[in-house]
Structure 1
């Protein structure tokens, strides 16, 4: 995996990148930065997204009280052949590595501050 040169070199970020590599895999030929969206750029959705967020809770003690999975990810079992999407689920908000990192450091998920 290629990491952007401006990534902070902290133990928390190193552990987050290791977890992302274990849970969803990181591309070998694409540079990964804090702005990389795990849902839009890396294709993490459905069950993979659910497992990742559970792993973040467990490994980092992250509290996800304000987190809404449907805001970022397609649900597990999404049928790409459906002609109509559920209302409000067609476009997803990018969930970046930087957002995950910030939430881990703060120890909780605050949608407004992370997306602001």
Structure 2
């Protein structure tokens, strides 16, 4: 199972996860993926060294092998299992593109995090 932790207080994050949840309804029902709001369980990933603020800044997930995924790697994992979006995982998750994908994701996440903080979404 892939368990994705996200911040529902961020309107962009919340909308993106709601969209993915709708696209993955069968996988959710089958228990292959779960989406969880970090605001209800702020210490959920503390064993991995991830703070509440870390998860508010970037998506985090635990994969079926118990590994922590962060940021773009979470998006790639979700695309991989989303019907019709596997090509995104292939394009942005290949060994050549992945470093650029991570960089772009991290910069966008930093901007989004700052915007949310300025607007008091914590």
For this structure pair, what is the TM-score category when the shorter chain's length is used for normalisation?
0.3 to 0.5
* More strand by percentage: 2
Greater relative contact order (Cα 8 A, min sep 6): structure 1 or 2?
Answer: 1
Alignment TM-score, normalising by the size of structure 1: 0.34
* More helix by percentage: 2
